[in-house]
A and B are shown apart, each in its own frame.
Chain A
Amino acid sequence: MSDLYERLKAYEGRPAFSGRGRDPVNAPMIRHWCEAMGDTGPAYAGAAPVAPPTMLQAWTLGGLGGGAAGRTDAYGALFALLDEAGCTAVVATDCEQEYVRPLRPGDVITFDGVIESVTPRKETRLGAGHFVTTRTEIRAGGELAGIHRFRILKYAPHPKPAGAPASPASPAPPAPSAAAARPRPVVNRDNAGFWEGVAEHRLLIQRCDACGRLRFPWLPGCGACGSPRWTAVPASGAGTVHSYVVMHHPLAPGFDGPYAVGLIELAEGVRMISNVTGVPPDRVRIGMPVSLDFVRADGQDLPVFRAAGPAEVTPRASRPPSGGGSRTSPSPGSPSPGSRPSDSRPSGSRPSDSPPPDSRPSDTPPPDTPPPNTELPPLTVPVTRTLIVAGALVSRDYQDVHHDPEAARAKGAPDIFMNILTTNGLVGRYLTDHFGPEAVLRKVAIRLGVPNYPGDTLVMTGTINSVCADERIAEVGITGTNSLGRHVTGTVTLSLPGERA
């Protein structure tokens, strides 16, 4: 054991946080949170709302004026020791929350956290460093309301390439692996019109004025008849996967693999290379229908193709024979788990800075208890700049990398990125949207992967791992992917509506 690690390890068991929430639980903060997350759960509105459980940590944070509220001297000393050792950067990697009782307006919050563990030095993609886990108990009126376990990586960032901004003096938040910029399109006079179309979220192909042949890639003459005259026409956006590759090694800059690259045959008959999104790379298939979408990566708009959503996520396992006894039978008219409309957008629609994602009408009846192995319909969330900033602020997280692009770039990220609390909130929303207002979150445990940058699209998928019929407790594995790869993986435990709920 190294000398440094012995000194770090000595902090295990010492207090990390202790304090009182700046504000009691209150309806305006709940409303702001729900508006940012696009969460229309009826339990969080009305005359007697409860707070979304995933807000747990938000009630403990200091906000813009409160600084590092409640942070102990021991925690500060541990960070100083890691800073001295060169581990100046920090990134949140895991968040695990257990919800013991709902929080309601008027609840006065107190919290106490301990430094649960400090790992030996680990090599990571971001750089070498130590994982620090804290465990915080959150009380309402003195009564245990929830437990929040948080894991961060304090690390020494890899040296930046020449010409990159110098390391910030203050501890730097994530310099994600995807900080290396995605390769840029190669643009000259012959194909500038195509990329101008992309910037307007139109996919333009050329049509020969002489012979009428459609062509792609763009060229200043027709390969069929040689005519130099042509007109740019918009493609419908419909296509199929003609072939595809799953990239493992080496990963291109800006990607965190494996990722799928498709050769897309457009309905118009021409082909182009693009990414296939909306499904994990290993689920891409030749012949799969896809539709045009646009993402923004490293400040560049790109046309990508989204796999047709719900059709691809029909339940893997059929329902087990009935006779389970305690499982309630489907009520008439109740939708089956696979049939609920998802938020998948129509083809060609552009994610914009418009209001938060659509969500399920709140009057939809709760679905019946699904069997294990059922795949939930995906939830598609456009990662707008508005969502990232609003999500950070409603969780009282004023770290500049979540709202200030210049500050984010100075710290090595290509743009602002979503904070872990927003991801946590979206995961909670995904599950309660699906299972309905009667379902109650018991535990959300997530791990972050690649960052969510503005302009990307987050697609959440879930699979029911197990259902304890008697207790009506379901455990659901979730994955959220964006164009860079896996943004989040995790497990959610919730109690379902029913006689025993």
Chain B
Amino acid sequence: MSARRSGALGGRAAVVGIGATDFGKDSGRSELALAAEAVRAALADAGLGPGDVDGMVTFTMDTSPEITVAQAAGIGELSFFSRVHYGGGAACATVLQAALAVASGLAEVVVCYRAFNERSGRRFGAGVARREPSAEGVALGWALPFGLLTPASWVAMAARRYLHVHGLTPEVFGHVAVTARRHAARNPAAYFHGRPITLADHAASRPIAEPLRLLDCCQETDGGQALVVTSLDRARALPHPPAVVVAAAQGAGRGQEQMTGFYRGEVARLPEAGVVARQLWGSSGLRPADIDAAILYDHFTPYVLMQLEEFGFCAPGGAGAFVAAGALPLNTHGGQLGEAYLHGMNGVAEAVRLLRGSSSNQVAGVRHVLVTAGTGVPTSGLILGADG
């Protein structure tokens, strides 16, 4: 992989607008309506109008096509549209693709969005008992007849191995949950606003897929989140201080699977996060010590620990103690455990707020924020930075 090529992208584009719907459990409106609402909100936040937009990026999993969201939001001709695969692994990669389009001149203002009724509509947590006999279906199909077909169960397999390899107890996962809920408690936009939890609450929550308990699992959310990306030059003329795309990367490991990475090397690690980490550090010249806050994808607590280890914040097995010590401001919006599950897109928005100084759990003097995307799948990451 080429750090040099990624480096050519750094500093060319910025996130200039963020917009979301309310985060709830029963939105009462269509996924398309949620997407359009988030896009309008993000454009308003950016100080731009629908006529400024010429590019759109979303997830392959999104049910609202770029062209339909464009129609519903009053956006006209598009010169760039793209989708990224692998569930939440796409989150930071939507910004990567937008930045690529902007840097290459294919588009000038690109909107990234993700919207769904993930609680009142199709609930990912329920699992899928049947798959089409495509290559992707077959890959997931090896586990289906044995009753391993939910995201929690796939993560639990790695989590059990993690505890075994490092001689730990599930309490290490509790530190991640407690941290997220402490932040969510102070975030008025969070579903769990005003409702912190303790380690004892975590330990007492009901088993879902042992060793995972209910409070190790993120929420299911109805809602939408959109981001506006444009060139750094144009960003400087807009109302908010730009959140500069300092580095962006995607990563898949050797023998990569989607959530079923059981057949390669050490199950208690996230090699694809390592692929992303090496690129982000290599292209930016930054190190973990330069990061002022991190928004790490948290659909399930164990993978937050493994990400901290892959990115080099601590040694393998040491992340539980690292989180417990509060050594790095982490998931200051409350994460997907506490704020909302928006497939990681709300995490990118939180990184932007931290750089603007408008987070509910603001950290003083933030210069660089690390953001990651879906774990256990081919994934992506960003380092967003303050301008200048």
Contacts and interface: CB of A to CB of B under 8 A. Distances in A.
B263 A302 contact: no
A245 B157 contact: yes
Contacts of B255: 223
Contacts of A248: 206-210
Given A243-B158, A245-B153, A188 B133 contact: yes
B208 A273 contact: no
Interface string B126-168: 1101111111011111111111111001001110110010000
Contacts of A251: 147
Nearest to A220: B135
A259 B263 CA distance: 21
Interface in A415-466: none
Nearest to B126: A250
B129 A185 contact: no
Interface size class of A (residues with CB under 8 A): 35 or more
Interface string B179-208: 000000000000000000000000000111
B5 interface: no
Contacts of B147: 182-183, 247, 251-252, 254-255, 259, 261, 275
B84 interface: no
A367 B202 CA distance: 48
A210 interface: no
Nearest to A302: B145
A351 B209 CA distance: 30
Contact of A246 (B140, B207, B260): B207
B161 A183 contact: no
Interface in A282-304: 286, 297, 300, 302, 304
A251 B129 CA distance: 11
Contact of B145 (A182, A244, A259, A270): A182
A271 B135 contact: no
A243 B154 CA distance: 11
Contact of A186 (B137, B160, B262): B137
Interface of A is mostly: loop
Contacts of A252: 127, 129, 144, 147-149
Given A217-B263, A242-B267, A186 B153 contact: no
Interface size class of B (residues with CB under 8 A): 35 or more
A5 interface: no
A273 B143 contact: yes
A270 B126 CA distance: 29
A271 B138 contact: no
A270 B265 CA distance: 10
Given A185-B141, A261-B148, A246 B157 contact: no
Nearest to B148: A261
A244 B143 CA distance: 12
Contacts of A500: none
Interface string A220-248: 00010000000000000000001111111
A125 interface: no
B160 A286 contact: yes
A56 to B, nearest CB: 37
B157 A272 contact: no
A188 B129 contact: no
A187 interface: yes
B350 to A, nearest CB: 29
Top 5 nearest A-B pairs (CB, nearest first) are A186-B141, A252-B147, A188-B133, A183-B144, A246-B210
Given A186-B137, A261-B146, 18 more contacts: A183-B129, A184-B145, A185-B141, A186-B138, A223-B254, A246-B209, A247-B210, A248-B207, A249-B208, A251-B147, A252-B129, A252-B148, A253-B129, A254-B147, A259-B147, A261-B148, A273-B260, A286-B164
15 contacts: A182-B147, A184-B144, A185-B141, A185-B142, A186-B131, A186-B137, A187-B141, A243-B262, A244-B160, A245-B153, A261-B146, A261-B148, A263-B267, A270-B263, A272-B263
